[in-house]
Amino acid sequence: MRKTSVLAVLALLGVFLLGIPGLGMAQDVVKLGAFLPMTGGVAAYGDMEWSGIQIAHDMEPTVLGKKIDVVLVDTKSDKIEAANAVSLLVEKEKVAGILGEAISGNSMAGNPISEAAKIPSVSPTATNPLVTQGKMFAFRACFIDPFQGEVAARFAWNELKAKTAALIIDQAQDYCVGLANYFEKEFVKLGGKIVSKTYIQTGDQDFSAQLSAVQAAKPDIIYAPNYYTEDALLAKQARDLGIKLPILTGDGAQDETLIKVGGASVENMYFTGHFHKQAATTERAREYIKRYEEKYKKEAGAFDALGADAYFLMVDAIKRAGSTDGAKIREALADTKNFQGVSGTITMGEGGNPIKSMVINKVEGGKFVYVTTVNP
């Protein structure tokens, strides 16, 4: 009787312990959060990055001997929703680390919350320097806009032989405004001249005023560092008006939607970008590309590759930290050196910003084609 009673008590105690957060089965799980735009204006980015994160999770589903669970929250492409998503992940889900957001404005809305909670975050693609500036726990998997803008300017000057440029900038997006400023500074430094600078807003459909200014200024090139939908429509209207100038843009335009919407009008559009499968050099990249293309039946691209790298960087840091403590993971992320990622070799520089190479891609034959690699 005594033995039976002891067993019964132990069984009840086991049930009780399983119901306490942080105990029982919860001990066998490391929980990561992802806040991404799965709906709204930049949903294509969130969809691509989430697909990359899922492949990365398939490749490395455990850490420290525990299963990894990734909790996804939709930011709806909105800054307020981004802040709410991080609050949910920190306060309710009790995540050890956060992946996201895809764009700079939304990352800057969410990062102060994870920073205050001392939870490290890694954005796949937020390129604005302000995303990590002054923060201890914010990191990214991508290069930053000053490097991107400078490379774009040098490419325009050296390879496209442009001496004058027209800028068409989405003033509603911090990313677009910042990238245009870095391009202009470097282009003028090289000896170039900005002969036209006009502005658009996210969601605009008519670019006749901006393109009339381009026609009047007669530049050698258009630099339009905007997102994919606006750049696709801009290119269509430019070609319809007989403007045959080269169009150069940034990583934010390199999405399949650009080609679907722009069609032949976006042929020969150039991009500063993060990744192209032809430039992939690491063993991790080769395995990732194989798995991604088998699962999704399409070519691996920049945004999914960077989603994967954000995951791999976080998991690698947890592994090296030997802990899920936020401060220890942060220290390990900051100490990342020569990490063999999908998008290349990554060393974490000052302020949570990676030192890594960049690729130049262009649209050719309805596909994104690799042009060259630019090292930092």
pLDDT at 376: 81
The 10s digit of each residue's pLDDT in 98-140 is 999 999 999 999 999 999 999 999 999 999 999 999 999 999 9
C-beta neighbour count of 356 within 10 angstroms:
22
Which pair of structure tokens corresponds to residue 325?
């403590």
pLDDT at 375: 86
What's the maximum distance between 2 C-alpha atoms anywhere in the chain?
A: 98
Phi/psi region, residue 91 (left: phi>0; alpha: psi -120 to 50; beta: rest), is: alpha
H-state helical runs in the chain:
2-18, 43-59, 79-91, 104-116, 145-158, 174-190, 208-217, 228-240, 256-262, 283-296, 302-321, 326-334
- Picking from 53, 12, 102, 55, the residue whose alpha carbon sits closest to that of residue 287 is 55
pLDDT at 267: 97
Distance CA 92, CA 185 (A): 44
pLDDT at 371: 95
Give this prediction's pTM: 0.82
User: How far, rounded to the nearest angstrom, does the alpha carbon of residue 18 sit from its chain's CA centroid?
Assistant: 37
Burial 225-238 (b: 16+ CB within 10 A, else e): bbbbbbbbbbbbbb
pLDDT at 281: 87
Distance CA 90, CA 32 (A): 10
User: How far, rounded to the nearest angstrom, does the alpha carbon of residue 50 sit from its chain's CA centroid?
Assistant: 11
Q: Does the pLDDT of residue 23 top 70, yes or no?
A: no
From residue 210, give the alpha-carbon distance in Å to each of 165, 192, 200, 248.
13, 20, 8, 16
pLDDT at 9: 43
Q: What percent of the chain has pLDDT over 90?
A: 90
Distance CA 211, CA 196 (A): 10
Give strand pairing partners of 34: 72, 99
Q: What domains appear along the chain, each with residue ranges and CATH number?
A: 24-143+279-356 (3.40.50.2300), 146-273 (3.40.50.2300)
Average pLDDT, the chain: 93
Please state whether beta strands 164-170 and 221-223 pair in parallel, antiparallel, or not at all (unpaired).
parallel
Q: What one-character-per-residue DSSP string does 278-340 give? A: GG--SHHHHHHHHHHHHHHSS---HHHHHHHHHHHHHHHHHHHHTS--HHHHHHHHHT--SEE
Output helix, strand, coil percentages for the chain, rounded to the nearest 5: 50, 20, 30
Which pair of structure tokens corresponds to residue 206?
């008519």
pLDDT at 15: 41
pLDDT at 56: 98
Q: Does the pLDDT of residue 18 top 70, yes or no?
A: no
Which has the higher per-residue pLDDT, 13 or 221? 221
Q: Does the pLDDT of residue 7 top 70, yes or no?
A: no
Kindly state the DSSP code that residue 23 receives in the 8-state scheme.
Answer: S
Q: What percent of the chain has pLDDT over 70?
A: 93
Distance CA 269, CA 346 (A): 27
Torsion angle defined by CA atoms of residues 248, 184, 306 and 357, in that order, rounded to the nearest 10 degrees: 90
**Once rounded to an integer, what is the mean pLDDT over residues 296-302?**
94
Distance CA 60, CA 47 (A): 20
